[in-house]
Structure formats: structure tokens, C-alpha cells
Amino acid sequence: MGYAAEDPYADPVKPALPASTFEWDSSRTALVVIDPQIDFMSKDGAGWAVFGQSVTEQKLVPHLSQLFKAFKQAGATVAISPHYYYPHDHKWEFEAPAESVQHKLGLFDRKGALTLDGFRNSGADFMQEFKPFIEDGKTIVASPHKLYGPQSNDLMLQLRKQRIDKIVLAGMASNLCVESHLREFLERGFEVIVVRDAIAGPKLPDGDGYGSALVNFRYIANGVMTTEQVVKKLEGR
């Protein structure tokens, strides 16, 4: 198929799809990070057995730290689309498989929408490495999404109010929330760059979520870049 045999995620040597036409404009561009939370990205998180291999392979946490730092230094918009489950969410009468797994593991659980009791350093909390960037009083922290996409939160409203129409997308999980956010952004008229090494996904006998999503990113995103490439763009290189 024209892929590097030693790397199952390598880009095709001779791609058939046309090159990206994305034009960089930091004044209209936001970094959107999905679910930068302990339960997804930490060895201490409830989802590590499902996501840990991919998080490690992609060097996800260091790459996200680089992106946060670069966007903050550039004075560009940063937004978080978090995932929280409250007690009433566990009373749903039907669920798809991935939803059932998240509820069974207790991912992103909080005691309620109106309390932070028990939130700090819980699995629903942000990774410690990211808190200086997220809690600086400037980052947009949207209301929580509940399944995979941003249809149920205020993320796009917040971005539109900042006159943002270009997205640099990163976070978790590749074939679930990341791909769902990507598709909704595209349908709403945003241009989206996916940062391929600042994303990770589930790895189970049922399939490699990162690998499956990477194929779709190549087909439908406005561009697929690495962390290094994004940082260079922000620095004008």
C-alpha cells in the first residue's frame, strides 16, 4: 500500500489525496484540546488499561504541553472541551458500547454539576502538567460534552464569539471525541487541522482506535500536522 512497514501509522509514501490548502492565520485560529483529563491521560486514571498504550506511543502529554505553551506564547485562543459525568448521567436507560465502558469504569465522574466537592485530583480533573495553561484565567473551558461531539456543549458558541473559524484539534480520544468534534466543526464551516501526535485512542481486541481515526483524519480534515509543525507555524517559521 506504499506505507513504511516498520510504522503502522506512517503516512503514505505517495498519497493520492491532494495536499492541504489550509492557510495559517493565528488571529483566527484556536487550539482546541478535548478531554485533557486524568482518567484518559494518566497512569492513575481509570481508563489507562484502554488508552495508556496509545498515550505512551504518541508521547501525548509532552506534545500537548508543547502546544499549550506555544499557543499561550503566541497570544492565541485556547479552548478546552471537557467530559464530565454526573449522577443523573448514570441513569440513562440505553447506551452504546463505548458509553457503557466509560460508565462502568467511572470515567470523568463528578458528584454533581453544582459542586466541586471531590473534583480536585480526581479522574475528572485536568492533568497537573496542563493546569498552569488551563487555569490562567484566559482559557475557554466549555461546558461538558456528554457522548463524543460538541453538539451538547457551548464550545462552538464560545469560539464564534472570539471570531475563530480555524481549529487546531488535539486531545482524546482519537476515533471517539476527537473525530466527532472534527466532523461537527467541518459541518459548521470551520477549517480544522488535526495534530496527529497530540492525539491518542483506545487499543482493544475490537480494534485500534488511533489507527482507524488517522485514516479518516487524512480524508476529511483540512490538514494533518505534527506538534513540531504546528509550533513552527506559530513561531512564523
Quote the cell numbers at residue 105: 469504569
Pick the closest to residue 145 from 197, 105, 184, 187 (CA basis). Answer: 184
Tens of pLDDT, residue by residue over 187-213, are 999 999 999 999 999 999 999 999 999
Pick the closest to residue 87 from 64, 60, 115, 67 (CA basis). Answer: 115
pLDDT computed for residue 29 by the predictor: 97
pLDDT computed for residue 236 by the predictor: 83
Quote the cell numbers at residue 189: 464551516
CA gap 203, 184 in Å, rounded = 24
Those residues of the chain that have pLDDT short of 70 are 1-5, 237
**pTM for the structure as a whole:** 0.95
